[in-house]
Amino acid sequence: MTSVATVEDYQRLEEKISDLQVLLKLALGSLGVTQVVKVSDIAEIEGVSRNQLLGREAYLLPNFGESEYPDGVRRWKVETFLDWRKLPIAKRRAMYMSYLEQKRKKAQTQN
């Protein structure tokens, strides 16, 4: 006989995953591992090309490609990227479409 997982089982699993993420973050920090991700890292994780990310797949990038760091290559804190990935893809895509629409309207009012 097989048992069915309960909501509590899933909540416990989520807590364990969260604990593991914290431990991993601490371990990487103590090893001196850089805790940022670049566009090329995200492209590899998401299974798309860098050019796709910078084009029509920009909704996969935190802040739609706006870097957290003003100088150098586009990059984000690992935590920012992980938080972004928690959002369902459909929601990120909808947010991106709204973002593009706002940019279009802003550009039109400036002309």
For the stretch 26-85, pLDDT in tens is 677 667 666 888 999 889 888 899 999 999 999 999 999 999 998 999 999 988 988 898
pTM for this predicted structure? 0.68
Which of the four pLDDT bands, split at 50, 70 and 90, describes residue 90?
very high
Q: What is the CA radius of gyration of the chain?
A: 18
Q: Give the start-to-end residue ranges of the domains of the chain.
A: 34-110
Helix segments in the chain, DSSP class H: 7-30, 39-46, 50-54, 78-86, 89-110
pLDDT at 2 over 90: no
